[in-house]
Amino acid sequence: MTQHGNIACPVGSLLIVDDSAAQRTHATDLCRQFGVPLIYEAATGSEALELLGLLALSPDLLIVDLEMPGMDGVELIQQLHQRQIHIPLVVASGRELALIHSVELMARNLGLPVLGWLQKPLTLPPLQAMLQRFGELADGQCPDSPTDPADPAASICREDLASAIASGELGVHYQPKVDMRTGIVRGVEALARWHRHGTGFVRPDLFVALAEEEDLIHELTLSVMGQALAQAAEWNARGLKLSMAINLSQRLLDRPSLVDEVTALVQQRGLKPDQVVLEITESTLADRLGAALGALARLRLKGFGLSIDDYGTGFSSMQQLARIPFTELKIDRSFVHGAHQRSNLRVILQSALELARQLGLVTVAEGVETLEDWRLLQQGGCNMGQGYLIAKPMPASEMLQWIKRHQPRLRELRHESAAANPSPELPPENPALQ
């Protein structure tokens, strides 16, 4: 790792793919300024594949131009996928942002590790930020990376998961949800985490999918819910009352005993239903709408909050809002992250916030990762946010310490917001923040 001023450059080598010799030279000069020691160049997509394939070149990073004669950047990315070359890449182009973002999304959907995009001509600050982002990806901190280190899920089966649930090996982490106007922690989302003994963490999307396929989702949900509600009760006793959001699989909505089971768990912990928000992914509701309507209506009658999760990613968002008594609209991170840079995302985000306001729903934004996105959400009137800018999911044992460490920052945000948006009355701070 080389140094650029006081900043260590995490990139040891990279390949610049661009048909313009002048642009390649310019990009090379900028990378050298930042301290990248080894820089390769390719004038075409075919030349890049030759370097990566026949010559077995393995740089840390690719910077790929889109407009090139012969094999363009889009074709090159598709070829990288077909040849299973999973080197982190940056999409670079002088074309319109909508086109660049479409290619970036294509690469992500193909499963390639994408750091982001750069508009040409390249300049040092955004390039430097992208190279530093590579360091986050290498450390496993980059939320956009679809790849993981050696995956312990490759060999798991139904018996492994059932044993993990029964033994308590499968635990819960909590991600804070903060008031966008004041910066105060108002709730958490409970997220299942499986640290498999001897192999490491198993990705949640993999073991949740396995649980649904192997008819273990009921056991998994009750385990997560039981742990989360017990933790909420413990925090309540210490003066920290936070709303607890828990994911509810649509596969459980036609289970006759579901509502009574959930209600009993809440009562056993001495909690009230209005402290619990059940999150249901909107794209799954259409499959079992008849059963879902009855279960969700009963849960709402008992006082539970209902959140439509990943809003905007399904095909029937408006219908779901009209049919089901939701209390909260949770906007998917794909419409939040980078919205300050992309006008089309900004319009969609603002329309979702306005729709929720008109319907009287609480809005929660996922994927808040930059201060610019935070400010945009504040301006749009979003109620709560969660994301890596605020905090990563963490074990319950770390929550109180995290709040204490971030107390000065939260109070600063509170006072800045009050100065920028005067209000006759701000919500009171949580006693645990005093």
| DSSP of 164-175 | HHHHT-EEEEEE
Average pLDDT for residues 128-134, to the nearest whole number?
A: 81
Helices 396-420, 217-237: inter-axial angle, 10-degree rounding: 70
Residue 258: the pLDDT is: 94
Average pLDDT for residues 42-70, to the nearest whole number?
A: 88
Residue 323: the pLDDT is: 76
| One-letter identity of residue 132 | Q
Average pLDDT for residues 355-368, to the nearest whole number?
A: 93
Average pLDDT for residues 340-368, to the nearest whole number?
A: 90
Name the strand (E) or helix (H) holding 138.
Answer: helix 124-138
pLDDT tens digits for 200-228?
Answer: 788 888 899 899 899 999 999 999 999 99
Residue 2: the pLDDT is: 47
Residue 136: the pLDDT is: 60
Return the higher-pLDDT residue of 157 and 151: 157
Res. 251: pLDDT tops 50: yes
- How far is it, in rounded angstroms, from Cα 232 to Cα 243? 8
Per-chain mean pLDDT for the chain:
83
Lowest mean pLDDT among 77-81, 99-103, 174-178: 99-103
Lowest mean pLDDT among 54-63, 157-166, 257-266, 378-387: 54-63
- How far is it, in rounded angstroms, from Cα 120 to Cα 260? 58
Res. 269: pLDDT tops 80: yes
Torsion sign, CA atoms 151, 209, 194, 370: positive
Res. 119: pLDDT tops 50: yes
Nearest to 133 by CA among 118, 150, 116, 121: 116
Residue 142: the pLDDT is: 41
Q: Is 239 exposed, middle or buried (0-12, 13-18, 19+ CB in 10 A)?
A: exposed
Return the higher-pLDDT residue of 346 and 227: 227
Average pLDDT for residues 282-291, to the nearest whole number?
A: 59
Q: Which two tokens stand for residue 368?
A: 């808040």
Res. 149: pLDDT tops 80: no
- How far is it, in rounded angstroms, from Cα 424 to Cα 404? 27
Residue 293: the pLDDT is: 82
Considering 50-64, 234-248, 368-382, the range whose residues carry the highest mean pLDDT is 234-248
Name the strand (E) or helix (H) holding 322.
Answer: helix 317-323
Contacts with 267 (C-beta within 8 Å, 6 or more apart), sequence order: none
For residue 62, list its beta bridge partners: 15, 89
Residue 284: the pLDDT is: 55
Residue 306: the pLDDT is: 94
pLDDT tens digits for 84-93?
Answer: 898 999 999 9
Return the higher-pLDDT residue of 70 and 432: 70
Contacts with 421 (C-beta within 8 Å, 6 or more apart), sequence order: 181, 378
Lowest mean pLDDT among 131-135, 315-319, 369-373, 378-382: 315-319
Res. 433: pLDDT tops 60: no
Q: Which two tokens stand for residue 282?
A: 């909107």
pTM: 0.69
- Rg for the chain, CA atoms, rounded: 24
Average pLDDT for residues 39-68, to the nearest whole number?
A: 89
